[in-house]
Structure 1
Amino acid sequence: MIVAVTGGKGGVGKSTVAYNLGAELDAVVVDADLGMADLPTGHGPDLHDVLAGRADAVEAVREDGPVDLLPCGRSLAGAHAADPRRLVDTLAAVERVSGPVVVDCPAGLGSDVGLPLLAADASLLVTTPDRIALADAVRARALARELDAGLLAVALNRADPDAPVDHVEETFGAPVVPVPERAAIARGTANGLPARQVAASCGEPFAALAGHVRLVAR
């Protein structure tokens, strides 16, 4: 199964949710933000190399950390050399060999978002409670629906106890999982650690999101 983590607006926490969802599902996380990659990287081939035809997709997956990851390069030259049209086949190749795939989509609603949604079996939406983020998330859901990537759940990031969970659930017609803002979660992602390894309670929202994915994957 390929799950696209999207949301429209940048800065809502898509990368953090994608990384932790991958940890809970024992999936390969693919950083598909070709211009502004945000997940941990390292030495060796990356998604830029794969999309440029310089590396094999499966061989570029890094399995030496707590989450299997196909990272994306961060150089302008790498981004220019990459052919985004190869992304759909790349994701399918990783899924065939490695099993479940979680794709961290770029921000916005352009073709670079459409391609991972086109490849995905389903989508998971990330938004914050503020009005602009919710409006962008509505447009992102419409794009996912148009590309037949059905919505599994909504991660309501940076949710305080008064977050409008019922309103968001009614707006999107999907289960909503509040994700409280915790510095430990962001710090863990920056250091390549899933939230559940930082503190058990930090991982609970992502375990709940993974539960919604598993219900559909059965």
Structure 2
Amino acid sequence: MILAITGGKGGVGKTTVALNLAHALDAVAVDADLGMADLPERRGPDLHDVLAGRAEPIEAVDETGAVDLLPCGRSLAGARAADPTGLVDAVREIERSYEDIVIDCPAGMSADAGLPLYAADRCLLVASSEAFALPDAVRTRALARVLDAGIERVVLNRVGASPPDERVRDALGVPVETIPDADVVARARRSGQPVGALAPDSTVAERFRRLASIVVSDGR
């Protein structure tokens, strides 16, 4: 399974959802944001190296952390040397060895965002519960449908006590799951760890495990 995590705009917590869901699914997390990498850095070759022909995809998967990770480089030179068109083949090669992949897509509607969606079998859309984020989410849903990676569910991230589940479901036409706002998420992000590794008994960790279970069930 190749699962893309996308978002209509930046700042909605898409990377946090991707890392935590990869941990809950025991999947490889792939940082496919070639120009603005956000998943934790690791030593060794990265996606820039893979797409520039300097490393094999399997060689660049780092297994030293709580989540197996194909990180992306952060240098401008690395981004310029990378050929984005090789992303689909690289991800599919990793899938053959690891089976489950979670791709952290670039935010928005750029061409770079379309490539991971094209590679994916399935897709989750991360959105903010604020009304201003919904138009961007609707546009990303349309792009995913064009690329045959239709949005299966929306993940409303950092929600409060009364999330607008029904309004978002009506606007986007797909089921909605919620991840609560909590200090433990910020602590986990600062440490470069998924919440499930830092605070496995927390409500947020339980929500990500539930979301992983739903993803598995949807795929059957």
1:55 — aligned with what? 55
Q: Which residue identity is paired with 1:5?
A: I
Verify: 1:161 aligned to 2:161, yes or no.
yes
1:109 — aligned with what? 109
* Separation (CA, whole Å) in 2 of partners of 1:67 and 1:209: 17
Q: Which runs of 5+ in 2 are unaligned?
A: none
Matched residue SS, 1:166: helix
1:202 — aligned with what? 204
> What's the offset of the Cα at 1:208?
2.2
Verify: 1:148 aligned to 2:148, yes or no.
yes
* Separation (CA, whole Å) in 1 of partners of 2:177 and 2:51: 34
> What's the offset of the Cα at 1:169?
1.6
> What's the offset of the Cα at 1:114?
0.3
> What's the offset of the Cα at 1:133?
1.2
Matched residue SS, 1:158: strand
Alpha carbons 2:19, 2:194 under 8 Å: kept: yes
Verify: 1:183 aligned to 2:216, yes or no.
no
Paired residues in the alignment total 218
Q: Which residue identity is paired with 2:210?
A: A
> What's the offset of the Cα at 1:197?
2.5
Alpha carbons 1:65, 1:192 under 8 Å: kept: no
1:10 — aligned with what? 10
Alpha carbons 2:66, 2:197 under 8 Å: kept: no
> What's the offset of the Cα at 1:77?
0.4
Q: Which runs of 5+ in 1 are unaligned?
A: none
1:54-109: per-residue Cα shift (whole Å, max 9, x none)?
A: 00001100111110000001000000000000000011001011110000001110
Q: CA RMSD in A?
A: 1.1
Verify: 1:82 aligned to 2:82, yes or no.
yes
1:73 — aligned with what? 73
Alpha carbons 1:19, 1:189 under 8 Å: kept: no
Alpha carbons 1:2, 1:119 under 8 Å: kept: yes
1:119 — aligned with what? 119
Matched residue SS, 2:189: helix
1:93 — aligned with what? 93
Q: TM-score, normalised by structure 2?
A: 0.95
* Separation (CA, whole Å) in 1 of partners of 2:56 and 2:187: 31
What is the identity percentage for the equivalent residue pairs of Structure 1 and Structure 2?
A: 57
> What's the offset of the Cα at 1:153?
1.4
Q: Which residue identity is paired with 1:214?
A: V
* Separation (CA, whole Å) in 2 of partners of 1:59 and 1:173: 40
